[in-house]
């Protein structure tokens, strides 16, 4: 399992920043302006300061921390271990024990895993807690979901292992080699056959030798349908798919001899 590369105090500061930013994004402009007025009034009551944008921003953030009852560093540090232990358990995310998701992608072999699909939050946090460095992709332009993923990652001290992108799997372009891609079969349903072939070829090229593509949403009765046969045909040279049960197939890229 990978060891943390960032200090806990850095992770705590990152957690606070993400919680505060996420809260600000949910506020209307009038509400945010009112919060600024409240912060100004609080500073005036406390002491006369030379106001600056930084001072005002810090004062607003302090009010948000109080309003959200965000934990102190010591409390966050203690809670983090409990949260991390929860995130590591498959049953916490509703993953059936037969799926063996962490085993299938084996993040300890190579740190980078890409996750996309309707269960991106659960898969991302589970894999990160088990040692992977994860890029989480939204299958729709959903910045709120990606913010939620990042806040949860920071809550467990995993922000250094999780990156998010509101681009879908069909738009995102890998910049580094990946050990595994975890995605749902419906993610590429809306693409033309030609576009789907290009996207899959790009993901396969970015996958290291011995890597895996873990495809969810493929029940046993659907394996013989034209769409699934076409999907598997887009993996030339890969080992025949294995059935992990629960609507999941795993395709393995051959290792270099």
pLDDT at 136: 95
pLDDT in tens, 165-209: 888 888 888 888 999 999 988 888 878 888 889 999 999 999 999
In angstroms, the Cα distances linking 83 to 73, 87, 125, 154, 171 are: 15, 6, 11, 10, 32
The domains of the chain are located at 8-70, 91-252
Q: What pTM, to 2 d.p., does this model score?
A: 0.77
112-126: per-residue pLDDT in tens? 999 998 889 999 999
Segment 133-166, tens digit of pLDDT = 999 998 766 788 888 999 999 989 998 899 998 8
Helices vs. strands in the chain: H and E counts, helices first: 9, 7
Tokens 């990606």 map to which residue? 146
Beta carbons within 8 Å of 238's beta carbon, 6+ residues apart: 204, 213, 251, 252, 253, 254
Q: CATH for 91-252?
A: 3.40.50.150
């Amino acid at each position: 399992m990978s060891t943390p590369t960032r200090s806990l105090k850095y992770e705590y500061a990152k957690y606070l920043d993400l919680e505060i930013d996420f809260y600000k994004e949910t506020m209307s402009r009038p509400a945010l302006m009112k919060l600024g007025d409240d912060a100004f009034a609080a500073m005036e009551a406390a002491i006369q300061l030379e106001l600056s944008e930084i001072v005002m921003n810090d004062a607003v953030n302090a009010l948000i921390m109080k309003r959200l009852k965000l934990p102190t560093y010591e409390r966050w540090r203690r809670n983090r271990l409990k949260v991390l232990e929860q995130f590591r358990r498959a049953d916490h995310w509703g993953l059936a024990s037969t799926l063996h998701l962490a085993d299938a992608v084996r993040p300890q072999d190579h740190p980078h895993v890409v996750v996309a699909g309707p269960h991106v939050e659960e898969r991302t946090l589970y894999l990160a807690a088990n040692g992977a460095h994860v890029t989480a992709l939204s299958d729709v332009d959903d910045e709120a979901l990606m913010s939620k993923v990042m806040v949860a990652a920071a809550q467990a001290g995993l922000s250094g292992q999780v990156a998010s992108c509101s681009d879908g799997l069909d738009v995102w372009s890998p910049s580094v080699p990946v050990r595994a891609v975890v995605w749902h079969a419906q993610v590429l349903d809306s693409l033309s056959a030609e576009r789907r072939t290009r996207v899959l070829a790009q993901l396969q090229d970015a996958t290291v030798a011995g890597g895996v593509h873990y495809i969810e949403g493929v029940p046993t009765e659907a394996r013989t349908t034209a769409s699934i046969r076409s999907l598997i045909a887009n993996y030339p040279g890969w080992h025949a798919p294995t059935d992990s049960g629960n609507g999941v197939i795993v395709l393995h890229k051959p290792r270099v001899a």
